Amino acid sequence: MRFTTPVIGPAAGAAVLLIAAAAAGLAGCSSTSSSSSAAGGSSSSAASGSALTVADVAPFSGPDAALGPTYLASCYGATSAINSAGGVLGHQLNCKSVDTRGDPADAVPAVNQMFASTPSLALVIGCTSDEAASVAPIINSHKMAMFCMTGQSEFDSVHFPYFYRLVPPDLEESYAMVAIAQQLGYKRIALAFGNDIGSQTFIQPAIASLAKAGMVLTTNQTLDLKATTFRTEAEAIIQSHPDAIMTEALGAADPTLFSEIKQLNNGKMIPIIGTSAAISPPFFKSAAAAVGATTFTSNFHADNLVVESNGPAFQAFSSALLAQQGKVPGATGNFTTYLSAPGGVHLYDGINLAALAMIMSKSTSPSVYSADIIKIGDGVPGATVCYSFAGCAASLKAGKSIRYEGPGGPTNFDSFHDSTGIFQVDTYSPSGQVNVVGNLTAAELRALSA
């Protein structure tokens, strides 16, 4: 659901135009190989019987290294279920890790190498806010479908034909965090966000939203994700006397900050409001170890997109994902948390949407099947609603029109290929289980939009 349509300022608009121009240059240099995304080439249907690759383009090292395995767990679960149901047009699917290190300078060559070395590439997932602005134009120039986990505002109003997003813009998450603070009765808010691209995009919308809500911004601290201590930032936050801290700083940054706040604040934690990125097994494990599970969970709330927790879509999803426990490289912590993690839910849906679009279009080439992703997700009047790849594929093969509804709920794509839902409020139990404790209405978020 869209709450606002932000306007890109002159500097941001110029940057997007430069990116688009670079992408056009890359597209002009591409050839038309007969294999799917051969080196430098456009995508086309893969050779009969060959395996198709879903590439997870995300950080697997660096401060944001937990993101890659989160998305890989989703890839393992979705592709395993698809393969068990017979695959796609005679093809099995596999997953490939592409480490961006969370840095555009590393992401661009990694993505170029991915295209050069992966002739069976059929779909890209991941592409986080750390690198999406740099790599999405490249992926788009190769006519490769992608489901990205970025909230950057340039994707709200610049159209890339092969870009799809099932998560909200960061500004909407900023409004959601402020709405949580309102619900909890907090009046004074400190900000503590990482210095990475993805975390920094929350700050200005949060500041504007706090002002609109009549709350006091007590301090705004930037956390260097490569630092090993945040004593100065912790002292500044404590001295500003906030009711709560709104934060996203991945890796060890937030848990270290929490620990130092507790040490400097006479053993007391300041309540935390996190983004949906905090709903992940590694984050819970690190935060609980830093301050104690009971202390952390009694002082923590996060926004998250509403996801289904029962019903046929959830049953298919949970069976597929939990079957991968112990098999996903780099996955740590309570594996069941992936059932609520945005990457776990929405990339599972994205992979299913793409695979079903391949069947509907009778092609594994994104330049052919991509247009059917929206048709599969949004459906047409009279379409059969289905909740898993196996059930949907059977209906397609029977000649029926379908509407896929996965654990992320029904889609409603706009002209920029965005489909985002409404927010819920999540907490953790001391064992690391995610609990849904409330919802945020569209009206609440609109009231906080700048």
Average pLDDT estimate for 119-148: 96
Residue 213: DSSP 8-state: T
Nearest to 76 by CA among 334, 327, 341: 327
> CA–CA separation, 72 vs 430, rounded Å?
26
User: Which residue type sits at 215?
Assistant: M
| pLDDT at site 235 | 98
| pLDDT at site 332 | 85
CB-CB contact of 124 with 116 (8 Å) = no
Say yes or no to pLDDT of 46 above 70. Answer: no
CA distances to 66, 185, 245, 380 from 220, in Å: 25, 20, 10, 47
Nearest to 268 by CA among 289, 249, 296, 246: 296
The tens digit of pLDDT for each residue in 395-429 reads 999 999 999 999 998 998 999 999 977 899 999 99
Q: Order of strands, edge to edge, in the sheet holding 216-223?
A: 216-223, 188-194, 244-248, 272-274, 300-305, 423-428, 434-440
Specify which residues 57 forms β-bridges with. Answer: 98, 126
What's the burial of 86, exposed, middle or buried (CB within 10 Å: 0-12/13-18/19+)?
middle
User: Which residue type sits at 435?
Assistant: N
State the helix-helix crossing angle for 67-84 and 342-361, rounded to 10 degrees: 40
Q: How confident is the model at residue 250 (pLDDT cuts 50, 70, 90)?
A: confident
Say if pTM beats, i.e. exceeds, 0.75. yes
Instruction: Name the H helices within 293-370.
Output: 293-297, 311-322, 342-361, 366-369
Residue 429 has φ and ψ, to the nearest 5°, of: -85, 165
Nearest to 43 by CA among 388, 437, 372, 369: 369
**Residue matched to tokens 């299913």:** 352
Q: Where are the beta strands (DSSP E) in 127-215?
A: 146-148, 163-164, 188-194
Number of other CB atoms surrounding residue 237 within 10 Å: 26
Q: How confident is the model at residue 37 (pLDDT cuts 50, 70, 90)?
A: very low
The token duo for 335 is: 């594996």
Residues with Cβ < 8 Å from 279, sequence gap 6 or more? 302, 304, 337, 340, 341, 342, 426, 434
> CA–CA separation, 431 vs 335, rounded Å?
12
* 300-305/423-428 β-pairing: antiparallel
| pLDDT at site 41 | 37
Give residue 195's Cα distance to chain centre. Answer: 18
> CA–CA separation, 287 vs 290, rounded Å?
5
Give residue 132's Cα distance to chain centre. Answer: 11
Average pLDDT estimate for 127-132: 93
CB-CB contact of 182 with 210 (8 Å) = no
CA contacts within 13 A on the Cβ side of 63: 22
> CA–CA separation, 440 vs 168, rounded Å?
14
Average pLDDT estimate for 341-370: 95
The length of the chain in residues reads 450
**Residue matched to tokens 């935390």:** 272
Nearest to 87 by CA among 363, 390, 360, 391: 390
CA distances to 88, 263, 271, 358, 362 from 91, in Å: 5, 55, 49, 11, 12
> CA–CA separation, 144 vs 435, rounded Å?
36
Question: 21: left (phi > 0), else alpha (psi -120 to 50), else beta?
Answer: alpha
* 384-386/402-404 β-pairing: parallel
Say yes or no to pLDDT of 344 above 60. Answer: yes
| pLDDT at site 5 | 30
> CA–CA separation, 109 vs 381, rounded Å?
44
CA contacts within 13 A on the Cβ side of 332: 11
The tens digit of pLDDT for each residue in 49-93 reads 789 999 999 999 998 898 999 999 999 999 999 999 999 999 999
Average pLDDT estimate for 137-149: 97
